[in-house]
Structure 1
Amino acid sequence: MTDLAPAPGGVPLAASLADFAALARDVLPPEVYDFVAGGSGTETALAGNRAALDRITVLPRMLRGVHRPRTDASLLGRPHALPVAVAPMAYQRLVHPDGEPALAAAAHAAGVPYVVSTLSSTTVEEIAAAGGPTWFQLYWLRDRAMVRELVDRAHRAGCTALMVTVDVPILGPRLRDVRNGFALPPEVSAANLPGSRDDLAHAGVPGTSAVARHTSAVFAPALTWSDIDWLRGQTDLPLVVKGILDPRDAVLAADAGADAVVVSNHGGRQLDAAPAAVTMLPEVLTAVGDRCEVLVDSGIRGGVDVLRALALGASGVLVGRPLLWALAVAGRAGADAALALLAAELRDALTLAGCADPAEARDLRTITGG
């Protein structure tokens, strides 16, 4: 049964993982809250992710003798405590001074992989030193030598998987950031990219996003499948391609040697006309069959959503904003509380669905409502 997550001193923080968003709004500067919460354009895709998940119902099984289900599952061939990884999220020191190391330590304590963003505000080496399974997320840069160096650094740091994000040829138009003239504060920077025009990210100009100017200067806008072929040749780590929506692209990712794809619309932060990620999950699963694992993100807000994804056939999910909100509220303690809540919510959902473990959840039937 899900209990209130305790803050330091025993003060309840949240009754559900989704509660952390409102709590974070109370502690963050408005422009930082908007940077994390916002989507692209009119935020149609952002809202669509949640609406699509809410339309998915799961047919529970009865009299299955399930009392306390297991939550452990395999991702990329390794066992983890939950079928969950912490999604790559940029600049976590924006929301709390302890930033990425605190959330990574909480993830490792919870037994789930932590995905380091290329745009993390702490280096991959320092984050990986927290121990536990660490994956590295790669944005493709204009400087191919720097791409190669990031891959080499991920290897040396002990990362156990490489995730390349393919849906950001340019940064989607984050209109909240434009209206706020958002720029990074001096103490927050892209720690993995020393010297890569970081000054642009700190130069606030009314009516523009400094973060968008920075990424435009350093990201390569014309990635092709030949680049993924090249990347496959640079590493023997499991390769994950993140940002897939069209099943045809999922097939091309498998053809290029991807071990997994993440069905994702980048949390509603890229193409505002993109469908909800979970909507495309069944078609992607059908297209790739057993050629690679299929994970999903974008809009996952609790244990019931994890159950929905598993019932649709996903191997697991990436969880992003809720954990960042929890970090904002109480640092490492908030992240610990959030991950404990997520585990409890998933146990409750599995029990109520009559499933002894996540594998059984993949045999559940789903119905998509209106």
Structure 2
Amino acid sequence: MEKKNILYITVRSDIGGGPIHVNELIQHLPLKNTNIFIACPFSGSIYIENWKLNTRIKKSIEVPFRKFSIKTLFILINFIKINNIDIIHSHGKGAGIYSRLLKFIFKKVKVVHTFHGIGNVQAKGAFNKVKNIYLETILKRFTTVFIAVSSGEKDIAVNFFKINENKIRVIYNGVKDTFAEPKVSSSKHVITFSRFSYEKNMMASYEIVKKTKSDILFNWVGDGEDFNKVRIKIDQDNRRNLVLSGFQKNTHQYLTPGSVYLSTSRYEGLPLALLEALANGIPIVATNVIGNNEVVIDNFNGFLVPEGDTQTAVKKIERLYNDSVLYKKMSENARAYFLNLFTVNQMINATIKLYDEIFV
């Protein structure tokens, strides 16, 4: 079979589900029939440090961090010509602007666009909603196929962007199975991995911390634009049952046996942190929003609670710690559900199948 030249575009190479997803594709896509290229920011840290040295990547090119540049578009045009790119696979809204403009220029190039968290089309006011809908209404014409990382995202794409559902494939995110890897010892431990931002709604998590029995320890791993605001509030309240661990590269070590995972997100795509919790047999208490409600099956591998209902979340956390039989059953269900739907191999195989379908 002829090798495919695939260019991944992402305007982030730091934290977040998009870069993690791209990294899994880079690490696991079979090279026997694929040449991998990447366009991403060269500044920052985390993934770009690996990608610059990764021999699986044939060539890389720089794009600005989370902003559009006409100059970069012309550089990408030249890059595609020189490297005979067959498929452009963009991740997230910013990268999707580049990919679809490139499709307008290169008619024969196939463009795959993956949504990552398009729930914000509903969540951030009328102006943003209209702007996003108008933009995607134009760009969708220059897209070969879309990938939604959850059925909820597909529904938004169909209902808000009026995208033909035949042009959308649902391919669930997949994460590495870290079940057998070493963990940090802890008991009665509620863990949250989060970017401290509007969509993650960490102040709701803080209300849960304040209302939960003091013998249950909370640990928040991550940082972001709201981190200092939250830290100041914690210091003012002299909160003792909450630890801020900051950004950590190896988050799975905190998913200890006996812990519970908490998410208070306002919206999601398909949250990787929740998948990591499932992989480690950790029951989840999460808001009943798109993305979360395809990972958490209420009363099976965790509990879904209405967004903003912090008191119900507290009751569910305490119930898990007060009922060891329930905890054990939900832990077993979490692990089984992960293996059934959310492994890296399942995600990679589905993506390869899609590439083969469009590369004709």
Q: Same fold, TM exceeding 0.5?
A: no
Give me the TM-score of the superposition, normalised by structure 2: 0.31
Normalised to the residue count of structure 1, the TM-score between the two structures is 0.30
Between structure 1 and structure 2, the one with the greater Rg is 2
| Higher RCO (C-alpha under 8 Å, 6+ residues apart) | 1
